[in-house]
């Protein structure tokens, strides 16, 4: 049976700030979108992050409206400027 990667997400240390990680690269292929997989990936990544860091940071573009909505649902807030 062949398996196919349809998405991914990453957590990495944010070097400028101790105990802060960065959410990186939430991607889903078009056929994997709308199935609740982005939420599952976020839950998994943030659970991992909560065990190793006190805060999680991400950078995104305001034009990515669906992604921004998802991030807001998970408690991310827009900062006045990047860290």
pLDDT at 78 over 70: yes
- At residue 25, the pLDDT reads 87
Sign of dihedral through CA atoms 58, 64, 66, 68?
positive
- At residue 1, the pLDDT reads 61
Cα–Cα distance between 69 and 53 in angstroms, integer? 23
- At residue 9, the pLDDT reads 96
Q: Whole-model pTM?
A: 0.85
Tell me the per-residue pLDDT of 15-50, one tens digit each, with 9 for 90 and over: 878 899 999 989 999 999 999 999 999 999 999 999
- Domains in the chain (CATH in brackets) are 7-73 (3.40.630.30)
SS3 23: strand
């Amino acid at each position: 049976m062949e398996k196919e990667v349809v998405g991914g997400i990453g957590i990495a240390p944010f070097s400028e700030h101790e105990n802060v990680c960065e959410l990186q690269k939430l991607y889903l292929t078009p056929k994997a979108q709308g199935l609740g997989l982005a939420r599952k990936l976020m839950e998994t990544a943030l659970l991992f992050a909560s065990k190793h860091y006190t805060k999680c940071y991400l950078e995104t573009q305001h034009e990515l409206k669906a992604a921004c909505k998802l991030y807001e649902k998970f408690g991310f807030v827009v900062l006045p400027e990047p860290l």
